[in-house]
A and B are shown apart, each in its own frame.
Chain A
Amino acid sequence: MKNPGQRLFVFLFAIAFSFSAFADELLPPGFRPVPPGVHALVGGKVFVKPGEVIESATIIIRDGFIEKVGKDISPPADARIWDMKGMTLYAGFIDPYLKIGTVGEVTKEAKKQVDLTSGRFFGLPGGEIDPGNTGAGAGVGLIDPQRRISEIYAPDFKNLEKMRDLGFTAANIVPDKGILRGSSAFVQLSDVDPNRAMLKPNVAQHVVFDNEGRKDMAYPESLMGIISVVRQTFFDAQHYATARDFYNKNGGKRPEFNPALQALQLAISKSVPVVFEPDSALMVDRAARVARELHVDFQIVSSGQEWRRPDLAKETGASFIVPLDFPELPKLPADDDWEQISLDQLRAWDWAPENAAVLRQQGLEVALTTHGLEDKTKFRKNIKGAVDRGLSEQDALAALTTIPAKLCGVEQLLGTLEPGKLANLTIVDGKGYFDPEAKVREVWIDGRNYHGDVEPAKKDKKKDDEKTDKEKAEKEKKETEKKEALKKRLAKSPLEGRGVITNPAGIYIYGATVWTSVSNEKPATLSILISDGKIQKIGSFKADAGPKTLTIDARGQHITPGLIDAHSHSAILHDVNEGTLPSSAMVRIGDVVNSETDNLYEELAGGLTTANLLHGSANPIGGQNQVIKLRDGASPEGLKFAEAPQGIKFALGENVKQSNWGEKYKTRFPQTRMGVKTFIRNRFIAAQQYLAGWKNYSKNGGSPPARDLELEAIGEILEGKRWIHSHSYRADEILMLLRLMQDFKVQIATFQHVLEGYKVADELAAGNVGGSTFADWWAYKFEVYDAIPYNGSLMRDRGVLVSFNSDSHDLARHLNFEAAKAVKFGGTPEEEALKFVTINPAKQLRIDKHVGSLEVGKDADFVIWSKSPLDSSTVCLQTWIDGKKYFDRDLDAQRTEAMVKERAAILEKAKKILGADGGGDTKDPEVKKFFRRSLEHQYDGVNRHCLDDEE
Chain B
Amino acid sequence: MRSQINIGPGARAAGLRVQSKLQQAGKLPSLLCALAICSSAFISSNAVADALVLMNVTVHTGSGPVITNGYVMIENGKIKAVGPGNEKPPIDEAPKLDLKGLHLYPGMVALDTALGLSEIGAVRSTRDETEVGDFIPDVESWIAVNPSSEIIPVVRANGIAYIEPAPQGAMVPGQSSVVALDGWTTEEMVFKKQAALHVVWPEMELDLTPKDKFSGDKSKWKSVEDQAKERDKKIRTLQDFFSEARAYAKAKAADKSATTLQFIPAWEAMIPYVNGELPVMIHANELRQITHSIKWAQTNDLKAVIVGGRDAVLATNELVAAKMAVVYENVYTPRYRDSEAYDIHFKTPSLLQKAGIKIAISMGPETFDGPLTKNLPYQAAQAIAFGLPEEEALKSITLYPAQLMGVGDKIGSIEAGKEATFFTMNGSVFDMRAQVKHMWIAGKELSLENRHTRLYEKYKGRPKAK
Inter-subunit contact A823/B432 (CB<8 Å): yes
Most buried by A among B206, B384, B434: B206
Q: Which of A318-337 contact B (CB under 8 A)?
A: 330, 332-334, 336-337
Partner of B122, one of A660, A797, A830: A660
Inter-chain CA distance A830–B427, complex, in Å, is 15
Q: A339-B288, A794-B459, A896-B339 are in contact. Are A928 and B210 (CB under 8 A)?
A: yes
Within the complex, the shortest CB–CB distance from A612 to chain B, in Å, comes to 20
Q: Name the one of A605, A779, A830 contacting B342, with C-beta atoms under 8 angstroms.
A: A605
- B-facing residues in A914-942 (Cβ within 8 Å): 922-923, 928-929, 931-932, 937, 940-942
Q: With a CB–CB cut-off of 8 A, which chain A residues contact B206?
A: 332-333, 337, 340
One of A478-486, A499-507, A869-877 contacting the partner: A869-877
Q: Could you mark each residue 424-466 of chain B with 1 if its beta carbon is under 8 Å from any beta carbon of chain A, else 0? A: 0000101111110000000000000001100110011010110
Main SS at interface, chain B: loop
- B 301-325 to A, binary, CB cutoff 8 A, 1 in contact else 0: 0000000000000000000000000
Question: Do A788 and B456 touch across chains, with their CB atoms under 8 A apart?
Answer: yes
Q: Contact flags (1/0) for A88-122 with B, using CB distance below 8 Å?
A: 00000000000000000000000000000000000
How many B residues face the partner with a CB closer than 8 A? 65
Encoded as 1 (CB less than 8 Å from any A CB) or 0, chain B from 48 to 60 comes to: 0000000000000
With known contacts A333-B225, A870-B433, A779–B378 Cβ distance under 8 A: no
Report yes or no: A794 in contact with B434, Cβ–Cβ below 8 A: no
Is B146 part of the contact surface with A, judged by Cβ < 8 Å? no
**Are A826 and B371 in touch, CB under 8 angstroms?**
no
A782 surroundings in chain B (CB, below 8 A): 120, 122-123
The smallest C-beta distance from A577 to any residue of chain B, in angstroms, reads 14
Closest chain A residue to B292, Cβ basis: A336
Kindly state the separation between the CA atoms of A766 and B430 in the bound complex, as whole angstroms: 37
Given A896-B341, A931-B210, decide whether A872 and B430 contact each other with a Cβ distance below 8 A: yes
Q: Is B268 in contact with chain A by the CB < 8 A criterion?
A: no
Which of A340, A343, A760, A900 counts the most B-chain CB atoms under 10 A from its CB? A340
- Chain B residues contacting A870 (CB-CB under 8 Å) are 432-433
- Among A332-351, those with CB < 8 Å from B are 332-334, 336-337, 339-340, 342-344
The segment out of B66-74, B81-89, B134-142, B327-335 that lies at the interface is B327-335
Q: For the complex, give the distance between the alpha carbons of A891 and B376 in Å.
A: 30
- In the bound complex, CA of A825 to CA of B154 (Å): 12
Expressed in whole angstroms, the minimum distance between the Cβ of B333 and any Cβ of chain A is 7
Report the Cα distance A896→B344, complex, angstroms.
10
Query: Which of B212, B225, B370, B459 lies in contact with A759, CB distance below 8 A?
Result: B459
> Which residue on chain A has the smallest CB distance to residue B435?
A824
Assembly CA distance A940 to B334 (angstroms) = 9
A899 within 8 A of B: yes
A712 at the interface (CB under 8 A from B): no
- Residues on B with beta carbons closer than 8 Å to the beta carbon of A789: 452
Query: Which residues of B have CB within 8 Å of A893?
Result: 341
Closest Cβ–Cβ distance, residue A334 to chain B (whole Å): 7
Inside 8 A of B368's CB, which chain A residues have their CB? Answer: 780
Q: Please tell me if the beta carbons of A780 and B122 are within 8 angstroms of each other in the complex.
A: yes
Q: Are B456 and A794 in contact (CB under 8 A)?
A: yes
Which stretch, A46-54, A60-68, A635-643, A809-817, touches the partner chain B? A809-817
> Cβ of A943: which chain B residues have Cβ within 8 Å of it?
334
A938 to chain B minimum Cβ distance, whole angstroms, is: 10
Asked whether A601 is an interface residue with its Cβ less than 8 Å from the other chain, the reply is yes
User: Is B300 at the interface (CB under 8 A from chain A)?
Assistant: no
Q: Are B456 and A931 in contact (CB under 8 A)?
A: no
B176 at the interface (CB under 8 A from A): no
Q: Is there contact, CB below 8 Å, between B371 and A873? A: no
Report the separation of the CA atoms of residues A785 and B126 in the bound assembly, to the nearest whole angstrom: 12
In whole angstroms, what is the CA distance A821 to B435 when docked? Answer: 10
The reply to whether the CB of B150 lies closer than 8 angstroms to some CB of chain A is yes
List of A residues within 8 angstroms of B212 by Cβ: 212, 928
* Chain B residues with CB under 8 A of A343: 337-339
Please tell me if A776 contacts chain B, counting CB pairs below 8 Å: yes
Check if B338 sits within 8 Å of A875, measured CB to CB: no
Q: Give the residue name and chain of the B residue nearest to A606 (CB).
A: B342
Q: Complex formed: what's the CA distance from A766 to B465 in Å?
A: 9
Contact of A781 among B12, B122, B460 (CB under 8 A): B122
Q: Within 8 Å CB of B428, what residues of A? A: 872
Residue B343 CB within 8 A of the other chain: yes
The residues of A that contact B150 with a CB separation of less than 8 Å are 779, 785
Which residues in B have their C-beta under 8 angstroms from that of A332? 206, 224
Nearest chain B CB to A401's CB is how many angstroms away?
32
Chain A nearest Cβ from B461, distance in angstroms: 11
Contact among A790, A900, A932 with B452 in the assembled complex (CB-CB below 8 Å): A790
Is B336's CB within 8 Å of the partner chain A?
A: yes
The residues of B that contact A601 with a CB separation of less than 8 Å are 342
User: What CA separation (Å) do A760 and B9 show in the bound complex?
Assistant: 12
Contacts of A892 in B (CB 8 A): 341-343
Chain A minimum-CB-distance residue to B228: A333
A779 contacts B465, CB within 8 Å? no
* Contact B121 A781, beta carbon cutoff 8 Å: yes
| Complex contact B339–A899 (CB within 8 A) | yes
A846-859 vs B, Cβ < 8 Å mask (1 yes, 0 no): 00000000000000
Q: Determine the distance from Cα of A902 to Cα of B339 in the docked complex, in whole angstroms.
A: 9
B261 — which chain A residues lie within 8 A by C-beta?
A: none
With A794-B459, A809-B334, A873-B381 already in contact, the answer to whether A824 and B433 are too (CB < 8 A) is: yes
Q: Kindly supply a per-residue 1/0 record for chain A positions 776-814, scoring 1 wherever the CB is within 8 Å of any chain B CB and 0 otherwise.
A: 111111100110111000100100000000000110011
Q: B63 on the interface (CB 8 Å rule)? A: no
| A903 close to B (CB within 8 Å) | yes
Q: Mark B199-222, 1 if CB is under 8 A from A, else 0.
A: 000000110111011000000000
Q: Shortest distance in angstroms between B412's beta carbon and chain A's nearest beta carbon?
A: 22
A831 to B133, CA, bound (A): 53
Find out whether the CB atom of B338 lies under 8 angstroms from the CB atom of A937: yes
A191 interface residue (CB < 8 Å to B): no
**CB-contacts of A214-237 with B (<8 A):** none
B151 touches A779 (CB 8 A): yes
Q: Is the CB of A872 within 8 A of B340?
A: no
- When A and B form their complex, which 4 residue pairs have the shortest distance between CB atoms, in order from nearest? A333-B228, A781-B122, A762-B465, A872-B381
> What are 28 A-B interface contacts by the 8 Å CB criterion?
A333-B206, A334-B228, A339-B288, A342-B339, A343-B339, A598-B338, A599-B334, A602-B335, A605-B342, A759-B462, A760-B465, A761-B459, A762-B464, A779-B119, A780-B121, A781-B121, A790-B460, A794-B460, A809-B334, A814-B332, A872-B432, A892-B341, A896-B340, A903-B339, A922-B224, A923-B223, A931-B210, A941-B335
